[in-house]
Amino acid sequence: MMKTSAEVNLLLLLLVFTLHVKGMRYSPPGKPALTRCRSPEKETFTCWWESGSDGGLPTTHALFYRKENSEAVYECPDYRTAGENSCFFNKNNTSIWVSYNITVVASNALGSTFSDPVDIDVVYIVKPNHPEMVTVTVLEDKGWPFLRVSWEPPHKADTRSGWITLIYELRVKLEEENDWEMHLAGQQKMFNIFSLRSGGTYLVQVRCKPDHGFWSEWSSTSYIKVPDYIQREKPMWVLITCFCAFIFLILTWLLHMNGHSLKDFILPPVPGPKIRGFDKQLLKNGKSDEIFSSLVVSGFPPTTSPNCEDLLVEYLEVYVPEEQELMEESKDLHDICLKSEGCTSDSDSGRGSCDSHTLLMDKFREAKEEKRQRDQEKSRTGTEDQRQQKDWEEEGLTYAYEDMVSPNISSGRVKTWPSLFSPLPQYSSSRHNQKSSLEKAKKHCFSDSLFPPGSTSFSLDQGGQTTMEAIRSSNREFSLRIKQPHLLHSHTQARCQLQAHSEVNISSIGCKQALGGLRSPAPHSAEYVEVQRVNEENTVLLQPVESGHGHIDGCSQLPLGKDYSRVQGVDRYNRLLLKGEVPQEGDCLYDYQDMTGDRTENCYTSSSVPSIQKPTACIHTVIMGHDEMVLAENGYIDTLTARTLPNY
C-alpha cells in the first residue's frame, strides 16, 4: 500500500512538473470530507464523502480506515456498491462495538489531501430503511369506522432474531390539511386510528428507528378514503324534530289551560230554538219572512191603550177534574206541595226554585200518571174532559204552568205548550237584566193569536217586572196549559206580549204552534179565566170566560159572570192567594206557590211596562211551577199544588 501511494505521488509530481513546464497552473486537490456513515441493519455500513476542489487535475479519492486497538490501515473494499464517493463495508468487514477511524484522501498529480478522520461505532450509526408494505384499511367498530394501518419492518433489518429492535412511528393527515398527526406505535406493526372525518381522504406514512439510532425515512404515502358514515342532514333533522315537539308540547299545554274559552271562541254553542211547536225548519230554510211571520203576533204592539180589563189573556185552561180526584189530588199534591214548601228560595234570586223543583215535577208526573190512569178508567167523554177541564176565572191571576216535562200527558187533562217552556236553565241567569227576565218571560207568552177567540185573556203588565223575576228561576219550567185553544180570548189586547227578544218570538211561535197543535186534539172545551180588573186592593179580579162547554165541578160553574176568586194577597211565602167567590159554593182558595219566591205576578193592565222592553205588558205568569192547579172545592182552579190556605 505504501508503495502504491509512493508511486502515485511520483506520478503526480511528474504530472505537475510537466504541467508547470507547460505553464499551466494546477494545484493539489482540495480537502475532502466525510459527510456521513450509515448502517441500515447494524451489519453493514456505508460512508459518503465530499470531494474538495480538484485543482484542475483529475483526482482520485481513497478511503482508509483503522479499527480500534489495531494499527493496520485498510482501504475501502467497495467503492461502487453505494454509489459515487462512497465506501461500502460489507458484513465481513463490519464489526460491532468496534470503533472505526476513517479517513478519505483525495489525490491528483500534484498531491493528495487527507480529510479529517472520523470515528464511528456501527452501533450508533444505524439508520434503517423505511417500513415496507404499509397497508391501510377501513374497519368498523359498532358502526363507526376506523383506520387500521399495518406494515412490515424493512427487509434488511433482522428483527426476528432480535439483533435489532425497531420502534415505529406513523403520521396521518387529511388530504386538504397541512398538519400531520403523529402516533408512536412502539414495537408493534399495527395501529388503529379512530375519530375519522366522514368522507375524508387520509394520508398515512410510517417510519422506524432502532432503539439507539436514527429515524428512518418516511415510507411512501398511502391514501385511504373513509366512507360517509354520518348523515350530514341527520343532526339538523333531529334538531328540527325536537324543536317541533317542544312547540307542540307548549301548544298542547296552552290548549289544555285555555281549553274551555278557546272552545267557546271557536265553536260557540249554538242555541237552538227551544220553543215547543216552533218549526226549526223555518230557521234552517233561512227565510226570514217566514220566521218572523211565525213569531209575530198579530196585533202587537197594542195600539190601544191597554186597559186592565182589556188586556186579558186567556190562555189558561184550568182543568177541573172530578171533585174526588181533585181532592185526592189536592191531598196528594198538597202533601207534595207541603213537602216542597220547605224549599227556600231567595226573594230576589232568579234561581228561586228549589232543588226539589225537579223532584216535585217528578212526583207530579207520577201523580199525573196516576190521575190519568184513573181517568182512563172512567169513561171518557167530552163532558168528562170538560169536567176535568176547568177554566178558572179568578180575580187573582194565577197561572198554572205545568211542568214541561209532561207535555204529552194528555190531550186529556193537561194541555201544555210543550215547546214553549223549554227548560229555563238555558236562559241567562242575570237577574237584574231585563232582557234575561224577559227571556224567561217569554215562556209565558201568550199570543193573542194563539188564543181562540172568545176567551178572555189577561195580560201581565209589567208586573212584568215581578213577573220576570218570578219567572226568572233558571230551574223553572213553565208549561202552559191550554185547555181549549178555541176558548182563548182573541182579544187583541190579550195577547202574548212578546218581547222583542227573538227568543220570545220563538216562544211565541212555539206558543202558536203548540196551540195550533193543541187545537186539533182538543175536542173538549175549557173555560178560561179572565182577568177582569185589578182592584185597588191589588187583587186580580177574574171573570170566568163565557163558554158553554165547560162544566166544572165545584167552582167550575163559571160562565156567568162570577168572580172566581180574588187574589187575597200574597202570603209570606210569596204565594198568591186567590179567593174564589162563588155564590153556590164556598170560596175557593187556592194557593199557588210561587216557586220563584217572588211575589206572584199580577197582571196589570197598565200600559206602562217600565221594565219590559215592549210597551205591552207581558202576560202571564206566575207561577210556578210544576204545580198543577188543582181544583179546589169550588172547582175554579185546577192546579197541582192547589191547597187550601186559610184566609188571611
Partner 1 sequence: MEKVVLLLSMLSLGVSSQPITDVQRLFSIAVSRVQHLHLLAQRLISDFESSLQTEEQRQLNKIFLQDSCNSDYIISPIDKHETQRSSVLKLLSISYRLVECWEFPSRSLSGGSAPRNQISRSLTELKRGIVLLITANQDGAEFFPESSPLQLAPYGNFYQGLGADESLRRTYELLACFKKDMHKVETYLTVAKCRLSPEANCTL
Contact residues toward partner 1 (CB under 8 A) are 42-43, 68-69, 91, 94-99, 101, 119, 121, 123, 158-163, 165, 187-189, 211-212
Contact predicate 306/541, CB 8 Å: no
Identity of the residue, 123 or 343, whose beta carbon is nearer to partner 1 in the bound complex:
123
Identity of the residue, 119 or 175, whose beta carbon is nearer to partner 1 in the bound complex:
119
Identity of the residue, 96 or 239, whose beta carbon is nearer to partner 1 in the bound complex:
96
Sign of CA dihedral 494, 499, 500, 504: negative
What are the cell numbers at 568? 187575597
Identity of the residue, 89 or 592, whose beta carbon is nearer to partner 1 in the bound complex:
89
Identity of the residue, 210 or 464, whose beta carbon is nearer to partner 1 in the bound complex:
210
Identity of the residue, 78 or 158, whose beta carbon is nearer to partner 1 in the bound complex:
158
Min dist CB 193 to partner 1, Å, is 21
CA angle 62, 90, 9 (to 5 degrees): 15
Distance of alpha carbon 628 from alpha carbon 321, whole angstroms: 11
Min dist CB 168 to partner 1, Å, is 11
Count of beta carbons in the 10 Å neighbourhood of residue 111 = 18
Min dist CB 103 to partner 1, Å, is 12
Distance of alpha carbon 262 from alpha carbon 99, whole angstroms: 100
**Which CA distances in Å does 77 have to 9, 82, 107, 468?**
22, 11, 18, 138
- Helix, strand, coil fractions of the chain, as percent rounded to 5: 25, 20, 55
Min dist CB 242 to partner 1, Å, is 50
Which three-class secondary structure state does DSSP give residue 243?
A: helix
Which three-class secondary structure state does DSSP give residue 500?
A: coil
Residue 208 CA from chain centroid, whole number: 68
Min dist CB 227 to partner 1, Å, is 31
Identity of the residue, 96 or 139, whose beta carbon is nearer to partner 1 in the bound complex:
96
Min dist CB 35 to partner 1, Å, is 18
Min dist CB 151 to partner 1, Å, is 13
Which three-class secondary structure state does DSSP give residue 442?
A: helix
Q: Where are the alpha helices (DSSP H) in 378-419?
A: 382-388
Contact predicate 522/389, CB 8 Å: no
Distance of alpha carbon 142 from alpha carbon 394, whole angstroms: 100
Identity of the residue, 120 or 367, whose beta carbon is nearer to partner 1 in the bound complex:
120
Min dist CB 46 to partner 1, Å, is 16
